[in-house]
């Protein structure tokens, strides 16, 4: 009976999924508070691609190799990890798991990755009856493009709109620059907006034409770090408890024995 109970795994899952903002090439703290008496702890990516990130007392797995810093030696209840040199592939759902007194704990963190870009839209000029709009974007993430919008609608090449895009790499700085020129004979009374979009990750506008920092955009690190543990009782555990109580009540009804 006892063996049967011992085989039942108690799993406690944190109810909150904290969202953490990380910036490409930067570093980010993935928070996890664990218990003093843990015997084991690990981090893994659950989505989009399940893979180990860090396993206590084991060597780093390849993709995260050399990019994980732990704090356990400073604080034995700190199972957080610092992930450095963030890549676009790092975006996703992570879980921190640890085992304490036979109970497994699991909490989730969603890492949202964004890339910084400076965006410079220059004044429209008129040449040969055409209105011309220019946009120049510079950033570290290559999988990006310039999107023009007017009244919230995406603009694309058509009979009346000519959009020409170019991409360049600055080998010295490793920065990518994207140019876009939009010309039209249409008589818009609003100026089209130039935005930068990136594949799978989000983009953050950090500066404009004069290189000045935009207000209110920084690097929002870990927000709201609360831990509300939500207990999920597996059906097996409920059944186990029931059997255990049954077993106890049977013990009580038997004449006392000693061995
Ligand atoms: C863990 O340690 C890091 C680095 O000192 C700190 O920033 C973080 O707040 C700590 N986290 C917890 C959950 O104690
Ligand atoms: C992280 O980036 C720094 C600076 O760009 C570089 O020197 C270092 O080798 C990188 N580390 C890893 C593990 O990629
Ligand atoms: C990621 O953060 C950006 C803001 O930086 C936000 O617009 C976007 O919706 C977030 N994405 C997810 C999946 O949380
Ligand atoms: C679009 O503009 C570019 C230069 O701005 C020009 O070379 C190209 O011929 C134009 N394409 C059309 C279809 O008008
Ligand atoms: C982008 O535009 C800037 C100025 O508008 C120009 O100096 C630069 O050469 C252009 N780059 C490309 C790749 O067209």
For 13-61, write each residue's pLDDT tens digit.
776 788 999 999 999 999 998 887 777 788 999 989 899 998 887 776 6
CB neighbourhood size of 202 (10 A): 12
Contacts of 36 (CB under 8 A, 6+ apart): 76, 77
Both 108 and 124 in one domain: the answer is no
Q: Can you give the pLDDT at residue 219? A: 33
Quick one: tokens of 250? Answer: 């049977």
Range of 184-193, 217-226, 229-238 with top mean pLDDT? 184-193
Q: Does residue 119 share a domain with residue 109?
A: no
Whether residue 93 is found in the same domain as residue 142: no
Instruction: Round to whole Å and give the CA distance between 58 and 42.
Output: 10
Per the prediction, the chain carries an average pLDDT of 79
Higher pLDDT, 74 or 9: 74
| Structural domain count, the chain | 2
| 208 and 129 share one domain | yes
Question: Is position 21 within any domain?
Answer: yes
| pTM (predicted TM-score) | 0.73
Domain that holds residue 60: 13-114
Q: Return d(Cα 81, Cα 120) in angstroms, integer.
A: 36
Identify the residue whose tokens are 């691609």: 49
Whether residue 164 is found in the same domain as residue 78: no
- What's the pLDDT at 235? 40
CA distance 72 to 79: 6
Pocket perturbation via mutation, ligand 1, pick of 78, 82, 222, 225 by most ligand atoms within 8 A of CB:
78
Residue 253 has pLDDT above 70, yes or no: no
Residue whose C-alpha is closest to residue 107's, from 20, 13, 30, 18: 13
Is the CB of residue 162 below 6 angstroms from any atom belonging to ligand 4?
A: yes
Looking only at the bridges linking them, the beta strands covering 10-23 and 103-127 are: parallel
Residue 48 pairs with which residues in a beta bridge? Answer: none
- Burial group, residue 13, by CB count within 10 angstroms (0-12, 13-18, 19+): middle
Query: Do residues 95 and 122 share a domain?
Result: no
In a domain, 248, yes or no: no
Q: How far is it, in rounded angstroms, from Cα 221 to Cα 97? A: 22
Looking at 5-9, 227-231, 248-252, which range is the least confident one?
227-231
DSSP single-letter state for residue 254: S
Q: Whose CA is nearest to atom 9 of ligand 3?
A: 202
* Residue 20 and residue 99 in one domain: yes
Same-domain status, 87 and 122: no
Is 247 inside any structural domain?
A: no
Task: Say yes or no to pLDDT of 7 above 60.
Answer: no
Q: What is the pLDDT of residues 112-148, one digit of tens each?
A: 999 999 999 987 777 778 889 999 999 999 999 999 9
- For 144-180, write each residue's pLDDT tens digit: 999 999 999 999 999 999 999 999 998 888 899 999 9
**Same-domain pairing of 129 and 208:** yes
Q: How far apart are CA 141 and CA 4, in angstroms?
A: 53
Residue 162 lies in a domain: yes
Output the domain CATH number for residue 94. 2.60.40.10
Helix%, strand%, coil% for the chain, nearest 5: 10, 50, 40
Nearest-atom index, ligand 3, CA of 19: 14
Give residue 249's pLDDT.
Answer: 62
Record the tokens describing residue 106, joined without a space: 């699991």
The pLDDT-based confidence of 248 (bands split at 50, 70, 90) is: low
Q: Is the CB of 173 under 6 A from ligand 3?
A: no
Centroid of ligand 4 to alpha carbon of 143 (angstroms): 24
**109 and 199 part of one domain:** no
Model pLDDT, residue 250:
61
pLDDT at 216: 39
Last residue of a domain, one of 82, 114, 146: 114
Give me the sign of the Cα torsion angle 188, 139, 83, 45: positive
């Amino acid at each position: 009976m006892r063996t049967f109970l011992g085989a039942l795994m108690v799993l406690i899952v944190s109810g909150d999924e904290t969202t953490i903002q990380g910036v490409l090439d930067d570093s980010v703290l993935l928070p996890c508070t664990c218990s003093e008496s843990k015997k084991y702890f690990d981090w893994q990516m659950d989505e989009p691609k399940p893979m180990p990130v860090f396993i206590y007392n084991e060597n780093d797995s390849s993709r995260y190799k050399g990019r994980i810093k732990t704090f356990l030696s400073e604080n034995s209840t700190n199972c957080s990890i610092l992930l450095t040199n963030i890549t676009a592939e790092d975006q996703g759902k992570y879980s921190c798991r640890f085992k304490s007194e036979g109970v497994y704990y699991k909490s989730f963190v969603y890492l949202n990755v964004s890339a910084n870009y400076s965006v410079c839209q220059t004044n429209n000029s008129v040449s040969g009856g055409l209105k011309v709009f220019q946009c120049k974007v510079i950033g570290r993430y290559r999988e990006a493009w310039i999107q023009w919008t007017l009244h919230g609608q995406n603009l694309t090449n058509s009979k009346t709109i000519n959009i020409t895009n170019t991409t360049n790499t600055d080998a010295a700085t490793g920065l990518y620059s994207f140019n876009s020129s939009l010309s039209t004979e249409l008589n818009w009374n609003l100026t089209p907006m130039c935005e930068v979009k990136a594949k799978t990750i989000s983009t953050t506008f950090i500066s404009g034409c004069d290189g000045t920092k935009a207000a209110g955009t920084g690097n929002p690190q870990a927000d709201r770090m609360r831990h509300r543990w939500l207990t999920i009782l597996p059906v097996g555990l409920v059944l186990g408890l029931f059997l255990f109580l049954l077993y106890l009540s049977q013990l009580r009804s038997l004449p006392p024995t000693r061995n």
